[in-house]
Structure 1
Amino acid sequence: LTASSTSRVTQLNGTCTSSVDMELFLHYSLIPSLFIILILSFLQRREHRRQRDDTSYLLGNRFGIIMPLDFVGTFSNRWSYGIAFGATANKVMFLFSEGYQPLQIPQWAQAFELLIGGFEVGLSHFPFFACLSSEFQLVSSILGFCYSLIWFAVTVLQVSQCPHRQFVGKYETLMFYWPSLLCLAFLLGRFLHMFVKALRVHLGWEFQVEEKSILETHQAEHVKQLLRTPRPQEKKKSWFQTRIYEWDPCFQFPSRMIGTIVLAFICLYLFIVIEFCVFVYVRDELDVFENKLESYITFTNHSGVLTPVILQVKELISVTKGVWVATILPASLTCVSYLFHILVCYRKHIKRLWAGDKHFLPLKFHNPASSASVVAIARYSGWQIAYILWGYLIIHVVQSLCGMAVMYGLVLPIVHNQGLEMLQGLGIGILTISIIVGLMILQMWIAASFFLQPKLGTADKQKPLALNNRKAFHNFNYFLFFYNVLLGLGACLSRLLISCLLGTWLIARIDRTIMQNGYEGADMGFSAWIGMLYVDHYHTNPVLVSFCHILIANHKEKKLQQTTKYWCLNQSAGPRVSARSRTRWFLLQTLINNPRLIIHRKLKSGHSSQESQILMACLES
């Protein structure tokens, strides 16, 4: 670092010695974490008890398995889970940078060390999710509030003791930790709200919430919408609804997607801050290098042999620093737009799968392996965040290179009073490209005008693919053969350039593959996306969930011998009707709404096809 930056940090921080070691605190946080897990596990009852010969029967039905959250079918408390994921952002960034190494093991076993570090981070933050999803709201809210308060207090102590650092300067530590502090503050409020609500229920001031149904409200509304007759749109959609996003009240994103996006936003912010700190460090080092170059020029009185080269190097350093800072914002906005676009693509793809449409998928992904899909949904969230972070860095580098090309191609020639030469070269380049494109268009026009037979009908949009003037056509091909060899060289280079630009630009998006047709299987990110979609499709399809809900409700109705009537998706009281009459009534409704099914009905003995014809005629009339 330069002397000025070092003195600035010394003045800001003085002799800063924090009494909190966050890495050491992470180790010690496992003690209360395991304590909370044991308490919640003791309260959780096991549904299926083992055989009597197993020693676990001594525990009764206590110490059930607790889970942090349902990664597939959770649609409630979505933002609470998302904020809980956001509270882990700082530790996730430590894992991403491979800076957190709890053990000292050989280099070849580094993968196991990262795995152990990931388990430790997950275990230390497990109580946040377990307390949010626990059925015992009164106890879990107290435990979750205390655990969140510990993390909040330690983080505040860390920030307050050493708020400044050597790169950005003032409040650099706060810049790193304010997202986690905000998430922890939200969790404190959430657990406090849970405690008040559970206490009111415990005191009898409020009624206990009934057992939650497997069918969510938005899923039931989706099925009802499918059963209704489609109506024409009453009003025209706005530009935002047509081009960007249209809210669907019959669809909700699962908690996994909300948590992934929230954590990706915070990690992207932290990654940008870290990148800027590295840039400040490199900039200070380059300033020292420039000062040495300036001293050499002064020593040689601008007459040294290396003076022109040194001036060009200084100009390159200055342009690079300016372009790198200028492209931070567009690169950030690009990745932020990708995060929103991922949600849009998720809804679009999952609704297509619900409708049975798989044409948007490559052929080899129409029936993926079940084991691969299960692994994919476990990989997706982590991979999506990593792809976004690496994608930001790659996009930033590519945009910086494009900015350097613009600076050296357009701006610097004008600064150096070489604007006319620049315009002359630019004009020649544009004219050359225009002539090449014009010749290609001319070939298309000649082919359409002279070498194709006329249209068969006036309503045809184009001429048929039938050759005309064959002798002239063969001469046309022969003389353009040698020219097209040279033209193909430029087309090949343009293909390579466009592929590189699109590949680097879309590297952060795993909802679409950047591989060519037939090689999609090599794109592991896209494979994880497809597997995740299939798991969600098989486990959260509204029609399937509604069917299971009906079966469960009917089973409970028969088991408890209730006289309530189950009507479609809602349970409402009604008159007692025999099952056979109700089934025949539903059959009649189905045949009325779908007349084509009548001809496919299996004829019973004693019934002729004439009855079906009569019924068909009645329906048509």
Structure 2
Amino acid sequence: MYPIDMRSQQRNDTCNKSLDMDLFLHCSLAPAVFIILVLSFLERRLNRRWIDAKFYLLNGRFGIVIPLDFIGTFSNRCSFGFAIGAIANKVVILFSGDYLPVHLPTWAKAFVFLIGGIEVGLSYYPFFACLSTDFKLIGSILGFLYTLTWFIITSLSIAECPQGKGFGEYDEVIFQWPSLLCLFFLLGRFAHMFVKAIWAQLKLQTEPGEHFPQHIHQAEHVRRLLRKPVGHEQRSCFQQKIYQWDPCFKFPSRMIGTCMLALFCLYIVVIFEFKFAIYMFQMLKMWERKLENLIAASNDSQKYAPLVIQLEESICIVEGVWFFSMVAAILTSITYVFHILVCYRKHMKRLWAGEKSFLPVKYHNPSPSECVAAIARYSGWQIAYILWGYFILHIVLMIFGFIFTYGIVYPIQHNQALKVVKGLVISALTFVVVISLMVLQIRIASKYFLQPKISPEDKKKPLALNNRKAFHNFSYFLFFYNVILGVGACLYRFFCSCILGIWLIARIDRTILQRGYEAYDMGYKTWIGMLYVDHYHNNPVLVTFCHMLLNGRGEQMLQGSPSYHIFTSSAAPRVSNKARTRWQLLYTLLRNPGLITLRKPKEFDFSLDSKMIQASVLTSRIQNEQEGPGQLSCPLLVDIGPSFSESHGVYSETSVPVFPASPCLTPESPAFPL
């Protein structure tokens, strides 16, 4: 965080560490890669490729390991949050860029940032992978050992040199305790996972995820929609103005982890800034004492005495303004972090209800590729916006603090209170007069230049002019005054735009640009893209509907999927998907012969006339059977041409099997739904 030349001016008693955390970060890549390979070996791929035929002994192993589901994870949210919080200090180092070489070209810094981010992500990958793996026993053991190693090395580094490289004692403890806290929590979490896995192996306890879905809150949301609405409940002032807990809504792990990491990073940045400011104030006071000694040793001490007093007052003012502006910026940034969650829930509920009026018109149908890229970069951008927003807000508040102090407080302390009051009264009077004239114009227009109400029950008069000649004279004489008034209104607009833009710079849930220019606000575009991805993948009605379909159809083919195996608990015998598809295809075409002509041909020379002939034959056969008294006899093998292509997930054949001898399909049987 600090420049290199400033670090050389630090205390002489700064110790030299034998444990270099940067070197340990590089060395940790080897065990991290080993853990990833072990977990990848345990995972099996659902879709087999040509390489599986060559290495058939692997049996589909070495699948892709998922560190964190950024879309649909609602379990272990606190664990993932603490795992993200463990890397807070590394994120701050990446944010500050202290690891960059001195003589590095500007164009190459982007690649160095990318490499540094990948290295940090790979080093901390086992924390997330061991938490999210389905093999809890192996994951808990590997995660516990890896976390314990990081905890021991970090603790030894702090114990060896508690003052670190900062500007005071115990700086390393102050900076590192959030990471130690998160690592300690992860140790307890992995130990808990190990005990539960052992119990599950001994059949003493059943894993809750094997029988109960983790999206129960979404089903409760749908039930609440289907119930008859009740009257308004009595809510407290806190629930009305600030936040009301909703049991049918859960924030995904991505949002919880982002907010926790933002708070940890904000804490580290504030501590860095506080230590830096304390150091600078100490340097200023030291220079002040040296200046006093020089002036006292000179013959013109009385001449330079006012300069010393003014310097002391300036240092006190700077120190006071910096402290109060820092507190205000910190409170504002913390409020924004929690307000992000409130806005996320509010916007998601509006999208679930089909309401898009709060979004710009051009973003009602955003690009899918941009939305996917937006949710991938949202967490990083949100943290960067929070940190940069804190710095910018702190600087602006300091500027306003200096204006207020030197404009009001400083003159009052020097017996110029009357002058200050006089200036304030004149400014306030001018403002009141201008506002009064604007209000007067509105009153005159309402009373003399609008036609009366059409109905006595109307709240407002209609927008219809009355006394047009008087109105034209009124507009003419006020034209020249409104030109002067417009200058003040323009300055007021500029002032409000600057204040609101700086105040809301950290919030990407709303744009600070005018309507029509939202496309230039990249943070707001990221927020909207993230909302749409969550809306399309975590909509409670959609998820519940898919849950009901999977349960009703008994799709056993999805039992191997880690995301949807919880929805299929039926113990029905397995049936070949190829056989089921063939029978369903034949039955559907028998009941709907017209669909034969609409089927997609493959690589066969299958003319439309041939299809029409086959469709006519099938139609006449069904009609004859329906007119006859008997049931539909079992047809022979019917060549109906190629079926749907493989891209539709249906097996392609040039013919379908015949019906069995018994039972036969009857005309009364319902057609298979398309």
TM-score range relative to shorter protein: 0.7 to 0.9
CA distance in 2, matches of 1:528, 1:173: 35
How far is 1:207 from its partner? 3.0
Change in 2 beyond 3 A, CA 1:143/1:104: farther
Match of 1:356 in 2: 354
- Checking the alignment, whether the CA contact within 8 Å between 1:73 and 1:539 is kept in structure 2 is yes
CA distance in 1, matches of 2:10, 2:116: 35
Letter paired with 1:46:
R
The answer to whether residue 540 in structure 2 is matched with residue 542 in structure 1 is yes
SS at match of 1:19: coil
Q: Which moved more, 1:447-456 or 1:325-334?
A: 447-456
Match of 1:619 in 2: none
Relative contact order, CA 8 A, sep 6+: which one is greater? 1
Alignment of 1:407-486 (within 5 A): 407-486=405-484
- Checking the alignment, whether the CA contact within 8 Å between 2:511 and 2:518 is kept in structure 1 is yes
CA distance in 2, matches of 1:124, 1:35: 11
Q: Which moved more, 1:399-408 or 1:341-350?
A: 399-408
Letter paired with 1:476:
F
- Checking the alignment, whether the CA contact within 8 Å between 1:327 and 1:399 is kept in structure 2 is yes
How far is 1:112 from its partner? 0.6
Match of 1:226 in 2: 225
- Checking the alignment, whether the CA contact within 8 Å between 1:452 and 1:465 is kept in structure 2 is yes
- Checking the alignment, whether the CA contact within 8 Å between 1:376 and 1:532 is kept in structure 2 is yes
CA distance in 1, matches of 2:314, 2:328: 22
How far is 1:6 from its partner? 11
Change in 2 beyond 3 A, CA 1:221/1:314: same
Deviation string, structure 1 residues 232-272 (Cα, Å, up to 9, x no partner): 23x41111111111111111000000000010010010110
How far is 1:411 from its partner? 1.2
- Checking the alignment, whether the CA contact within 8 Å between 1:512 and 1:526 is kept in structure 2 is yes
- Checking the alignment, whether the CA contact within 8 Å between 1:450 and 1:469 is kept in structure 2 is yes
2:336 is aligned, of 338, 342, 346, to 338
How far is 1:478 from its partner? 1.6
1:257 is aligned, of 252, 255, 258, to 255
CA distance in 1, matches of 2:211, 2:308: 73
Calculate the TM-score normalised by the size of structure 2: 0.78
Deviation string, structure 1 residues 173-221 (Cα, Å, up to 9, x no partner): 1110000000000000000001111111222322355636666100111
How far is 1:556 from its partner? 2.0
The answer to whether residue 391 in structure 2 is matched with residue 389 in structure 1 is no
CA distance in 2, matches of 1:31, 1:212: 37
SS at match of 1:327: helix
- Checking the alignment, whether the CA contact within 8 Å between 2:386 and 2:506 is kept in structure 1 is yes
CA distance in 2, matches of 1:506, 1:540: 28
How far is 1:101 from its partner? 3.8
Change in 2 beyond 3 A, CA 1:59/1:101: farther
Larger radius of gyration: 2
The two structures, once aligned, show a CA RMSD in angstroms of: 2.6
CA distance in 2, matches of 1:110, 1:545: 43
Letter paired with 2:77:
R
CA distance in 2, matches of 1:246, 1:53: 53
Q: Which moved more, 1:544-553 or 1:188-197?
A: 544-553
The answer to whether residue 402 in structure 2 is matched with residue 404 in structure 1 is yes
CA distance in 2, matches of 1:559, 1:485: 74
CA distance in 1, matches of 2:430, 2:50: 84
Deviation string, structure 1 residues 73-96 (Cα, Å, up to 9, x no partner): 000101100100000101000000
Match of 1:38 in 2: 37
CA distance in 2, matches of 1:106, 1:411: 47
- Checking the alignment, whether the CA contact within 8 Å between 1:101 and 1:117 is kept in structure 2 is no
How far is 1:340 from its partner? 0.8
- Checking the alignment, whether the CA contact within 8 Å between 1:377 and 1:528 is kept in structure 2 is yes
- Checking the alignment, whether the CA contact within 8 Å between 1:215 and 1:549 is kept in structure 2 is no
Match of 1:133 in 2: 132
- Checking the alignment, whether the CA contact within 8 Å between 1:354 and 1:537 is kept in structure 2 is yes
How far is 1:295 from its partner? 4.6
Deviation string, structure 1 residues 133-159 (Cα, Å, up to 9, x no partner): 111111110110010001101111111
How far is 1:108 from its partner? 2.0
Deviation string, structure 1 residues 313-354 (Cα, Å, up to 9, x no partner): 553333122100122212111111111110000001011111
- Checking the alignment, whether the CA contact within 8 Å between 2:86 and 2:178 is kept in structure 1 is yes
CA distance in 2, matches of 1:45, 1:458: 76
- Checking the alignment, whether the CA contact within 8 Å between 1:105 and 1:113 is kept in structure 2 is no
Calculate the TM-score normalised by the size of structure 1: 0.85
Match of 1:498 in 2: 496
CA distance in 1, matches of 2:34, 2:555: 41
CA distance in 2, matches of 1:154, 1:126: 18
CA distance in 1, matches of 2:190, 2:214: 26
Match of 2:122 in 1: 123
Q: Which runs of 5+ in 1 are unaligned?
A: 561-568, 574-621
Match of 1:606 in 2: none
How far is 1:311 from its partner? 5.5
Q: Which moved more, 1:411-420 or 1:184-193?
A: 411-420
Deviation string, structure 1 residues 443-499 (Cα, Å, up to 9, x no partner): 112222222222222111122222222222222222211111111111111110110
Match of 1:93 in 2: 92
Letter paired with 2:319:
K
Match of 1:318 in 2: 316
How far is 1:553 from its partner? 1.7
Match of 1:157 in 2: 156
Change in 2 beyond 3 A, CA 1:171/1:559: closer
CA distance in 1, matches of 2:167, 2:221: 51
Q: Which moved more, 1:59-68 or 1:176-185?
A: 59-68
Deviation string, structure 1 residues 48-90 (Cα, Å, up to 9, x no partner): 2212686454533111111101110000101100100000101
Change in 2 beyond 3 A, CA 1:49/1:360: same
Q: Which moved more, 1:372-381 or 1:459-468?
A: 459-468
Change in 2 beyond 3 A, CA 1:462/1:542: same
The answer to whether residue 106 in structure 2 is matched with residue 82 in structure 1 is no
Change in 2 beyond 3 A, CA 1:302/1:430: farther
Match of 2:529 in 1: 531
CA distance in 2, matches of 1:460, 1:207: 67
Change in 2 beyond 3 A, CA 1:156/1:378: same
CA distance in 2, matches of 1:555, 1:34: 41
Deviation string, structure 1 residues 542-569 (Cα, Å, up to 9, x no partner): 1111121122222326889xxxxxxxx9
Letter paired with 1:323:
V
Q: Which runs of 5+ in 2 are unaligned?
A: 559-566, 572-674
Alignment of 1:137-216 (within 5 A): 137-165=136-164, 167-209=166-208, 211=210, 216=215
How far is 1:119 from its partner? 0.2
Change in 2 beyond 3 A, CA 1:52/1:488: closer
SS at match of 1:359: coil
Letter paired with 1:509:
R
